[in-house]
A and B are shown apart, each in its own frame.
Chain A
Amino acid sequence: MTDESMTNGTMTKSQRIGEIVETSTTGFVAVSKTLHQPPALGSLVKVQLGGEDYAYGVVAFGTTVSPDPGRRAVPRASDEVYDEAVYARQPQLTRVLHTEFSVVLVGCFEDGSIRQHLPPHPPRLHYDVHECTSDEVRRFSERLVYFRLLLDAQGQVPAEQLLAAHIRQVYRARGHDAAWLERAARQVTSLLRDDYDRMMTVLYGIEP
């Protein structure tokens, strides 16, 4: 695919949402640019691999913690000051907390076409994570081979929940494309045909 929108020029227009702080062949962890606002569970993101190549991944987990692994947050609210007011009263909190999200790699853009397999190299540390536009989501989700990679993901969220969340995201990004949803559902039943319970979990999760 040598589409204009896939070139580097257009890429920079899509929103930067985070920076990679931990990376591996199967996925990476990034810190969100804005506190409390990691990309939605199951949404499609991408990272530049070099040149015009990109890695695609699906957001698999999000958390807001202290950057220092040894420190836990302590309660700061009182009867008068709670929720958003806590942050207004103590602005330093936005400095000592950050929001992380982890991403499962599901494909890459390589040699001018979209591939639904793991990228050859892990994304580089400190590179930016970009949100994918609806158009890119649409193009990437034309084929559904990558559902297998999602189902094999070892994360905090059960794989079938992750898959259901992803399908919901794509369905929305594709403008409630019922034909696509039906195709996705068939792919799910075909992949999970040996595990009726997990299959039904996904199906109930994506039912419009």
Chain B
Amino acid sequence: MARKRLGVVTDGAFNAGLTVRLDPGVSTEEMRIGEFVVVEGEGNRYFSLISDMQLRATDAALLADPPREASPFIAQALRGTTTYATVQVKPMLMMPRGADTDFLVDLEPPQPVRTIPMHFAELHEATESDFGAVFGHEDRTHFAMGKPLTMDIPICINLARLVERSNGVFGQSGTGKSFLVRLLLCGVIESGLAVNLVFDMHDEYAFGKESEDGVFVKGLKHLFGSKLLVYSLDEKAQARGGRGVDVTLQIGLNQIEAEDVLLLAEELNLRATAEANVGLLTDAYGADWLSRFLAMSPTDISAFCEQYGAHEGSLSALQRNLKRIERRPYVVPEAPFSVIDEMVAALDKGQHVILHFGRYDHPLDHMLVANVVTRRVRHLYREKVERYEQTQSPADKPRPLMITIEEAHKFLNPAVSRQTIFGVIARELRKYHVTLTVVDQRPSGIDSEVLSQLGTRITGKLTDERDIEAVLTGVSGRSFLRGTLESLDTREQVLLMGHAVPMPIVVQTRKYDEVFYAALGAGEKRSAQLDIVELFGE
């Protein structure tokens, strides 16, 4: 395939990137910041990104006194000679240049750059085979997320690598985060590389929903049927026809631990003394502390204060505040852990779970339920991992679990991320085969320690300086990615970077439509037989 030549390298530094003078006749308008290009060195081919563009003139007099009435002829003559453009190009990956062929399959995969090409190396447009060499081709573990801005070929992310680490999906509201998450979930579910537990806080994933364009899109339950279980807090959801809720989940007061309550300090308006009081209560009553505390009469409270030296006023204030938990309709005095244990058993069988909050979409509900459920799930996973380490039998190996949470800054902000189970999961990486996918529109609200642990980041447009800074925490080449991030389109363009892609790239996201459903269906038939075996044994 003929590559279009764009210019030659005239200057550069390994740290700052290469300066390429564009050939006369090549316009900066043909290029995009963040575009994937190829620099042909003598021995290597460098896969690079355009990070900046500059307009230059050889003579300062021209800039001081531009030809005002210049005809197109003169402008054309000046263009590319006296006035010219340079682009900054950042090499990301390199591979040895083979014979002049498009068959890159046999060559070793691209490596991180460790050198730069010399003067007059040529800059070329990337061809389809370049994209293929870097991003791989669509298969079971490579899921097409979209296509590059300038070409109609799929850009794949490596799902096997995606599920290895915690990930982040960011973007301002209206940039299509929930569609991105749907895409990702579809990819992961389809590949069977991990099981998913999704906290569907805004009723977006489980069932069909009208998109911003006014089209009705299918929910994951419709796409995956029995592969996916929907647990709902909303007892009425199950009764509503056509929604297919599998289980109604209830939370027992016995399941709520001290840390769950303290996490809700802001929502419940708890005072600074709450932590000490809750500590006393758990010391006294153990696991039953909350139900027994809520059942206390004022006389009981003063007796308790006498015995344990607590402050009566603050304790009754705490009780008043905690009554709000009791009043949530899905909270019952006592609930068995077996529902959650069954959920984990389903995950074990390769089924995916969406926890649907229904009409309970107050932050209090999100945080309380997500914490209780996740803590139990992780506890069970931990046991499984320990068993696996003991037996080392492949049959005991837990399936990797990916937990998706929205509004992640509520769980992972610096004040609470050390207490919540999510903070723990994000930090301990995949030690227990559990990873997070955090979805958020204000990444700056997330603890930077958590952000730096994220493996793959998928981000739509962000404009706030702090959010951009936050998304790029722990990413190399930040300064030039920032420009790329700022220049994204509001809709349907995302920057992929991190563990699951060999180099950062901007893509036009795939449409979540009939074509996509059909593509999934095709995969489904292929793997149906496998699933039957996986679910029910040989």
- A190 to B81, Cβ gap below 8 A? yes
Interface of A is mostly: helix
Considering only residues 95-144 of chain A, those with a C-beta below 8 Å from chain B are none
A162 to chain B, nearest CB (A): 18
Q: B71, B74, B77: which has the most chain A beta carbons within 10 Å?
A: B77
Residues of B contacting A199 with CB < 8 Å?
A: 59, 82
A-chain residues with CB within 8 Å of residue B61 when the two chains form the complex: 196-197
Interface size on B, residues (CB 8 A): 16
Among the 9-residue stretches A11-19, A30-38, A145-153, A200-208, the one with 4 or more Cβ atoms under 8 Å from chain B is A200-208
In chain B, residues 26-81, which have Cβ atoms closer than 8 Å to a Cβ of chain A? 58-59, 61-62, 65, 67, 71, 73-74, 76-78, 80-81
Q: Is the CB of B73 within 8 A of A186?
A: no
CA distance A190 to B81 in the complex (A): 6
Closest CB-CB distance, A203 to chain B, in whole Å? 5
Closest to A189 in B: B81
B24 interface contact, C-beta 8 A: yes
Distance, CA A42 to CA B38, complexed state (A): 45
Bound-state CA distance A188–B73 (Å) is 13
- Do B82 and A193 touch across chains, with their CB atoms under 8 A apart? yes
Interchain nearest-CB distance for B101 vs A (Å): 34
**Residue in chain A with minimal CB distance to B24:** A186
Q: Which residue of B lies closest to A191 (CB)?
A: B81
Bound CA–CA A189/B80 (angstroms): 9
Count, A-B residue pairs, CB within 8 A: 44
Q: How far is the CB of A168 from chain B (nearest CB, A)?
A: 13
Nearest A residue to B74 by beta-carbon distance?
A: A203
> In angstroms, how far is the closest chain B Cβ from the Cβ of A187?
9
Chain A nearest CB: distance from B309 CB in Å?
87
Given contacts A185-B77, A186-B77, A193-B58, 10 further A-B contacts (CB under 8 A): A182-B73, A185-B76, A186-B80, A189-B81, A190-B81, A193-B82, A194-B59, A200-B67, A200-B74, A204-B74
Enumerate 25 A-B pairs (CB-CB under 8 Å) in ascending A order. Answer: A181-B73, A182-B76, A185-B73, A185-B74, A186-B24, A186-B80, A189-B78, A189-B81, A189-B82, A193-B82, A194-B59, A195-B59, A196-B59, A196-B62, A196-B65, A196-B82, A197-B61, A199-B82, A200-B67, A200-B74, A203-B73, A203-B74, A203-B77, A204-B74, A207-B73
Chain B residues with CB under 8 Å of chain A are 24, 58-59, 61-62, 65, 67, 71, 73-74, 76-78, 80-82
A-to-B contact residues, CB < 8 Å: 181-182, 185-186, 188-190, 193-197, 199-200, 203-204, 207-208
Q: Pick the 5 closest A-B CB pairs, nearest first.
A: A185-B77, A189-B81, A196-B61, A193-B58, A196-B59
